[in-house]
Amino acid sequence: MLLIPGPASRELGEEIARLAQLELGKLESKLFPDGESYLRLESNVERREVAIVQSTYPPQDRHIMQLLLMADNLKSLGASRTVAIIPYMAYARQDKRFLEGEAISIETILKMFKHAGIDEIITVNIHSPWILQHASISVTNLDATGLLARHSHNLGLSSPLIVSPGKKGEAMASVAAKEIGTDFAPVHSERDPHTGEVKIIVEADVKDRDVLFIDDIISTGGTAIKTVKTLKKLGARRIVVSCIHALMIGDADKKLLEVGAEKLVATNTIPNRYAEVSIAPLIAQYLKRER
């Protein structure tokens, strides 16, 4: 298998290739003055299985377009099979019609990837894993919760209570708690589809406890900020906030630190300043096992 890092994930792609002991392919990329992407494959891909690594963090549309260009180009240059490693899958949060007439973006995105010639997708903690059962393309969803929890635990928290919002968060918290041998508590978040307003209810006694907040994604930070505020009000001691996908839109990180988070920790599915945990070993291990 040849591995080609896309413009959005050069460093991560190189790390995966090194750990999985895969040959590294070469791709030239640049932006035209009008913002369109130019890509030129410099490796021979004829009759080869090729993995491309391209995360689709902001600017999502550009990174998706580059992924489509890469995949279609591979197909037309004779690659036998294309695997797309998409550490952060954009457009995954609109997975159903919350309001009548809305576009179900994740379905559209997956159809586009398939049409461009992608045979298989490997992603990490996709927002709605349940949609994958009926997806138009084979998607493997790897879970980085264990990696993140282990790293965060090593920061010196004392028997931290793990909290994570929502039903999916509860499952995530349970995985993290098992990983480091501690307990977890459900946190309910309710988002109003019209105003975006989020309400938080923590179902535990957090007084004088260290807390590890863990979530799949921090976007505007609204959910995490409200949870940290609630935890502080309830008397929590040290609070570390961690997430797999750190979008950190606007001042999300600054606000989190202001309301009482002691430290922020994230993975590198999206390049960010809190990326202390690399998901490269998780992906490399999967590639080695499956191939």
Binding residues vs ligand R5P (CB under 6 A): 165-166, 169, 215-224
Please tell me the distance from the alpha carbon of residue 15 to that of residue 267, in angstroms, as a whole number: 14
Residue closer to ligand R5P by CB (options 29, 128) is: 128
Residue closer to ligand R5P by CB (options 85, 246) is: 246
Q: How far is the CB of 127 from ligand R5P (least distance, A)?
A: 7
Q: How far is the CB of 240 from ligand R5P (least distance, A)?
A: 16
C-alpha angle 177/156/261, rounded to 5°?
80
Q: How far is the CB of 248 from ligand R5P (least distance, A)?
A: 9
Residue closer to ligand R5P by CB (options 206, 256) is: 256
Q: How far is the CB of 164 from ligand R5P (least distance, A)?
A: 8
Q: How far is the CB of 46 from ligand R5P (least distance, A)?
A: 42
One-letter identity of residue 228: V
Our CA dihedral for 6, 71, 24, 79, rounded to 10 degrees, sits at: -170
Please tell me the distance from the alpha carbon of residue 204 to that of residue 261, in angstroms, as a whole number: 18
Q: How far is the CB of 111 from ligand R5P (least distance, A)?
A: 23
Residue closer to ligand R5P by CB (options 15, 215) is: 215
Please tell me the distance from the alpha carbon of residue 229 to that of residue 244, in angstroms, as a whole number: 21
Please tell me the distance from the alpha carbon of residue 147 to that of residue 127, in angstroms, as a whole number: 18
Instruction: Identify the bridge partners of residue 215 per DSSP, sorted by sequence position.
Output: 243
Q: How far is the CB of 287 from ligand R5P (least distance, A)?
A: 27
Residue closer to ligand R5P by CB (options 43, 94) is: 94
Residue closer to ligand R5P by CB (options 74, 252) is: 252
Residue closer to ligand R5P by CB (options 7, 166) is: 166
One-letter identity of residue 230: T
Residues 6+ apart with CB under 8 A from 6: 13, 27, 29, 52, 53, 54, 63, 66, 67, 70
Of 144, 83, 122, which Cα lies nearest the Cα of 281?
A: 144
Q: What is residue 243's three-state secondary structure? A: strand
